[in-house]
Amino acid sequence: MGRIYKIPMDAASVGTAVQDLFAIKCGAGGLILHHIHLDSSNTAAAPMRLRLKRATATITLGSGGSSVTPVTANFNDSAAAGTAHINDTTQATTSGAFTTLLGFNWDTVLPFDYLPPPENRDSIILNQGLVLDLPATITAATVSGYLVFEEVP
């Protein structure tokens, strides 16, 4: 088993622009996506369309959001080799193509969890990326959550 890392998002304002909620670039070896969790402060129904995409070649992370240092799950682990961004309003690009792996419709009054069984977890290799994006604008929402991934040799 590789090293486990988390990318936190705390009270981010989303929805007023097309954007990448989470984007991660594999820095060495490979990366396996374990879990994505989101919740919002909305009290009225506000549907949000989400897409999980894989960059099939070198990814360039977007901008306009925040660069985030992945947090180690084990206090004794070294820093992650990958790089991560949250809430980028200028979306990531790739020298290849983006493949949409999954599409979701999330009602933001409820939690969103993507937690596939081990045999269905998506993975990438060096310089590729995974992106959870918001492909259309919605009514603004304040969103918190996290993405959990594993770096493997």
- pTM of whole model > 0.75? yes
Place of tokens 């309003």: 89
pLDDT value of residue 150 = 96
User: Contact, 3 vs 77, CB < 8 A?
Assistant: yes
Lowest-pLDDT choice from 3-12, 42-51, 57-66, 122-131: 42-51
Q: Which of 129, 119, 125 is nearest to 97 (CA)?
A: 129
Delimit the domains of the chain by residue range.
3-152
Q: Is the pLDDT of residue 15 over 90?
A: no
Integer Cα distance of 97 and 16 in angstroms = 25
Which residues fall within 8 angstroms of residue 88, CB to CB, at 6 or more apart? 19, 20, 23, 61, 62, 63, 64, 65
Integer Cα distance of 40 and 126 in angstroms = 32
Residues 5-21 have a mean pLDDT of: 91
- Give tens-digit pLDDT for 80-121: 999 999 999 999 999 999 999 999 999 989 999 999 999 999
Q: How confident is the model at residue 139 (pLDDT cuts 50, 70, 90)?
A: confident
Q: How confident is the model at residue 34 (pLDDT cuts 50, 70, 90)?
A: very high
Integer Cα distance of 32 and 123 in angstroms = 4
Q: How confident is the model at residue 152 (pLDDT cuts 50, 70, 90)?
A: very high
The number of residues making up the chain comes to 153
Q: Is the pLDDT of residue 16 over 90?
A: no
pLDDT value of residue 44 = 87
Residues 52-58 have a mean pLDDT of: 96
**Beta-strand runs (E) in the chain:** 3-14, 19-25, 30-40, 47-55, 59-60, 66-68, 71-72, 83-88, 93-94, 98-107, 112-114, 123-125, 129-134, 141-152
pLDDT value of residue 73 = 82
Integer Cα distance of 132 and 28 in angstroms = 21
Tokens of 128: 């590729």
Q: Is the pLDDT of residue 25 over 80?
A: yes
